Structure formats: C-alpha cells, structure tokens
Structure 1
Amino acid sequence: MSLNARERHRTSDELGANLVISGLTTEELRQRLGFTTGQLDAAMAARTSDPAEVWLVRDYLESVIARRGATPFPYSVLTEDARRMAQIWFDLATPPPPEP
C-alpha cells in the first residue's frame, strides 16, 4: 500500500486535525507511542518508511478522541476498508490504551 502525494497530504491533514481534536500535544503523542521525534514527524506527514506507524498514530488518536466523547475528523485514505488490506501487507500494532 503506497500513497501518492495527494493521499499523503490529505492523510497528514487528517492526522493533524485529529491531533487537535484529541487535545494532545505532539510531545504527549510521541511519548505515549514511544516514538522518536523523527518517527512521529514522519508518521504525521505520512512519509514514514513504516506505514504501520501511520496506522498506529491514527488508531491511537481515534481511541483518545472516543474516550473523550468527541467525534474524530473522518479519514479519506486510512479508512476501515483500507485497514483490511493494510493488515495483509503490514504488521499493524494495537495502540496502547489512552491515558485518562
């Protein structure tokens, strides 16, 4: 599963919107996922060499947003239909539980 430039841009925008909705800072997200700054920057830009990291960020943000009773910004590329294929191609990890 490879994203073209337009899909990477949209995904990055959608991740950014959900970061805002989550109420987390970039540093909090980085720490909770155990990412380096470079890993998180690459995942948020959808330019990582490991697409599973982008999915992990997506899924963690969604879990935080749900825990807070908010509605996430919808994803146009990282959809549940796309997840089925991503699970075949990549070793998708389960995100850690959101902190209270």
Structure 2
Amino acid sequence: MSLNSREREVTGEQLRRHVEVLGVSEQALAAWLDLEPQAVEDTVAMRGADPVVVWLMRDGLDALARHRGVDAGGWTVLTDSSRQAAQRWFRLRAVPPVESFKG
C-alpha cells in the first residue's frame, strides 16, 4: 500500500492542519510518540515518510483533537477503512495515552 503524489499532498496538508489547529509543536509530538524530531518534520512534509510513522502521527493528532474537543478536520486518504489495508502491509503502532502528551 503506497500513496500516489496527490494522496501524499492531501495527507501532508491534513497533518499540517491538525498540527496548526491543535497548536502543538513538532518537538512535543516527537517526544510523545517516541520519534526523532526529523521523522516528525519529514512526515508532516511527506518527504520520504515512513508509512508506520504517518499512521502513528495521524492517530496521535486525531486522539489529541478528540481529547480536546477540537475539530481539526477529517482524513480523506488515511480513513478508518483504509487502516485495514495498512494493517495488512505494515505493523502499525499504538498511540500513547493522550494524558502523557506534554505540549
């Protein structure tokens, strides 16, 4: 399962929108999700992003939005139904508890 250029563009826009609407820093996301800051930056920019990290960030941002009661918009490519295919291709990671987010 891979994304075409238009899907990468849309996904990057949606990741950026969530980061902006939630007002979280990429450094705080990296610490919470146990990622290198560069991996978060590359994922938001969709530069050679690891699909596992893309899904982890998507799920983390989505969880933060729900926890805060914020509507950051939906996902048009990384939908809940497309997760089934992703789980067949990749070993997706679970998001840490939202309460452990520091940022």
Per the TM superposition, whether the score is higher than 0.5 is yes
Contact 1:19–1:61 at 8 Å: present in 2 too? yes
**Partner amino acid for 1:68?**
R
The number of equivalent residue pairs is 100
Aligned-pair CA distance for 1:33: 1.2
Residue 72 (structure 1) aligns with:
72
RMSD: 1.5
Gaps of 5+ in 2: none
Alpha-carbon contact 2:39-2:49 (below 8 Å) kept = no
How far residue 71 of structure 1 moved from its aligned partner, in angstroms, is: 1.8
Cα separation, 2, equivalents of 1:20 and 1:30:
15
Give the structure-2-normalised TM-score. Answer: 0.88
1:61 match: secondary structure: helix
Corresponding residue of 2:61: 61
Q: What TM-score, normalized to structure 1?
A: 0.90
What are the equivalent positions in structure 2 for 1:32-71 lying under 5 Å apart?
32-48=32-48, 50-71=50-71
Identity level (%): 35
Q: Where do 5+ consecutive residues of structure 1 fail to align? A: none
| Deviation >4 Å, runs of 4+ | none
